[in-house]
Amino acid sequence: MKNETLAPFPKNFFWGASSSAYQVEGANLEDGKGPSCQDVKEVPAGTSDLTVCADFYHHYKEDIALMAEMGFKSYRFSIAWTRILPEGTGEINQKGIDFYNNVIDECLKYGIEPIVTMFHFDMPAALDKRGSWSNPESVEWFVNFASILFQSFGDRVKYWLTINEQNMLTLVGPVIGTMCIPEGTENVLKEIYQQNHHMLVAQAKAMVLCHEMLPEAKIGPAPNISLVYPASCKPEDVIAAQNFNAVRNWLYLDMAVNGVYNNLVWAWLGKYDAQPTFAEGDKEAMKNAHPDFIGFNYYNTATVAEEDGSVAFNPVGGDQQNSDGLAGMYKTVRNENLGKTEFGWEIDPVGFRATIREMYSRYRLPMLVTENGLGAYDTLTEDGKVHDSYRIHYLQDHIHQLQEAITDGCEMMGYNPWSAIDLISTHEGMRKRYGFIYVDRDEFDLKTMKRYKKDSFEWYKKVIATNGADLSE
Ligand code: BG6
């Protein structure tokens, strides 16, 4: 469909940006916070640990003021479970509640809508010791945490996201440092999808609870959705693309929205005796949950071909955007039509439009972009500038395609790219920067921690001021 003119962005569109607690806050064991799996994991060689990050914990006022200066309408951030419940269950840490009260109030002071992710890759270490998501009790742990969040912040937080990128926790947990498989597990695939099942049930129950406790609030999932292309029009490649779409994308949204397991994934798990076990009431719980919107992270598409027997059986290989393939299901191939970031992720703005169109026609719910962005090496010049025109170009192209999708009839609530401010990457350290705000620190040298406005900061300010009408540099 060629759009001669583009529909304007909706009024009250949530222009903003995102971050997550464990990647931005620092102060990882301060004021009573307990350790999460991120604090106890072995970080990849040559990358920073997560003790200081951007030190948002001590700089939040200054950082939110900068977001307000950009004109943010929303700020999507996560709440660290272990700041609220250091052990994951039990005693509440009042200082943790105070911190997020302050962050929320600071956002509201500037008219910035807080969009809160309840869980972003940071399982309490104490709960990892009790089996993490493998333990059926994890459903109640999460629902208990959710009820504390709704109780404490629900008077001011109207938009909630359940679990960030549950699909990546399941598909590439080891690279993000989140996978906890109990020792002696024989059927690892089954264990992974049992964990996934517990998360799905926990999410469903949290959505129902949110609607009960906070009738005015809206809640949705936040998976990482990348449309999967077939490498060619060869029918076997199309089947492979359907396989990966099911395993990577639709499993999560079919369940969150319709309360059913995707049939292709269910059949695939059956081959390995890996279908999850349902506890009593799970089926009903999943069916009862109804998200108000779909939050999703988009970085690029994927392209796959028929699996020719060359792919090893490894259900957790690769990273969020580069899959190692799946034996018997698909083989990952390079899409020669696309460029790549400096960190090897393909760049596909048109795929953003295609992904949105596909999702909207499948689920018919309003959608909120909760991440999108370019990880790059940025350089601070001697006069305190960061000339990140590459980031501006990336964002321009994606926002343009977002507008195309809106013109195509897709209902979009907002755009919250990754990230508001520089923070630590999941597995590539501080050097892989995404922010509009530069933080003066290196991988290991904390330097001044001063904040600087990148060129993209001024550009995004203009984009927001014109409600997306002026994307020019
Ligand atoms: C998403 C995560 O996968 O992508 C974020 O939700 C993450 O936590 C972002 O930081 C970018 O990934 P990376 O690996 O470049 O940090």
Whether residue 454 lies inside any domain: the answer is: yes
* Ligand 1 nearest atom to the CA of residue 20, by list position: 8
Whether residue 409 lies inside any domain: the answer is: yes
Splitting the chain (473 residues) into consecutive groups of 10 residues, what average pLDDT does each group show? Answer: 96 98 98 98 96 98 98 98 98 98 98 98 97 97 98 98 97 92 92 97 98 98 98 98 98 98 98 97 97 98 96 88 92 97 97 98 98 98 98 98 98 98 98 98 98 98 98 97
Question: CB-based contacts of 84: which residues, under 8 Å, 6+ apart?
Answer: 92, 93, 96, 97, 100, 145, 148, 149, 152
- The pLDDT assigned to 268 comes to 97
Q: Is 280 a catalytic residue?
A: no
Which amino acid, one-letter code, is at 87? E
The residues that bridge with 339 in the sheet, in sequence order, are 347
Locate 249 and state its tokens: 């994308």
Phi, psi of 399 (to 5 degrees): -65, -35
Sign of the C-alpha dihedral, residues 116, 119, 121, 123? positive
Q: Is 165 a catalytic residue?
A: yes
Whether residue 284 lies inside any domain: the answer is: no
Whether residue 175 lies inside any domain: the answer is: yes
Locate 8 and state its tokens: 């304007």
Whether residue 323 lies inside any domain: the answer is: no
For a mutational test of ligand 1's pocket, the pick from 169, 418, 421, i.e. the residue with the most ligand atoms closer than 8 A to its C-beta, is 418
- Look up residue 323 and give its DSSP letter: B
The residues that bridge with 159 in the sheet, in sequence order, are 115, 218
Distance in Å, CA 300 to ligand 1 centroid? 12
Phi, psi of 354 (to 5 degrees): -60, -40
* Ligand 1 nearest atom to the CA of residue 168, by list position: 3
For a mutational test of ligand 1's pocket, the pick from 426, 430, 432, i.e. the residue with the most ligand atoms closer than 8 A to its C-beta, is 426
- The pLDDT assigned to 80 comes to 98
- Look up residue 401 and give its DSSP letter: H
Closest by alpha carbon to 453, among 413, 417, 420, 418? 420
Residue 244 near residue 331 (C-beta atoms within 8 A): no
Q: Which residues line ligand 1 (CB under 6 A)?
A: 20, 23, 164-165, 168, 224, 297, 320, 371, 375, 418, 425-428, 432
- The pLDDT assigned to 259 comes to 97
Whether residue 8 lies inside any domain: the answer is: no
Distance in Å, CA 418 to ligand 1 centroid? 8
- The pLDDT assigned to 316 comes to 84
- The pLDDT assigned to 363 comes to 98
**Alpha carbon nearest to ligand 1 atom 8, residue:** 426
Whether residue 455 lies inside any domain: the answer is: yes
Strand bridging mode 412-415 / 367-371? parallel
Q: What is the pTM of this model?
A: 0.97
C-alpha 120/C-alpha 38 separation (Å) is 10
- The pLDDT assigned to 312 comes to 87
Domain that holds residue 111: 14-224+344-465
Q: What angle do CA 79, 84, 89 make, to 5 degrees?
A: 120
**Alpha carbon nearest to ligand 1 atom 16, residue:** 425
List the CATH number of the domain containing 436.
3.20.20.80
Distance in Å, CA 426 to ligand 1 centroid? 5
Residue 156 near residue 112 (C-beta atoms within 8 A): no
Distance in Å, CA 443 to ligand 1 centroid? 17
Catalytic residue among 25, 106, 113, 165: 165
* Domain tally, the chain: 1
- The pLDDT assigned to 252 comes to 98
Catalytic residue among 106, 306, 371, 404: 371
Whether residue 270 lies inside any domain: the answer is: no
For 311-463, strand residue ranges (E) read 331-332, 339-340, 346-347, 367-371, 412-415, 437-439, 451-453
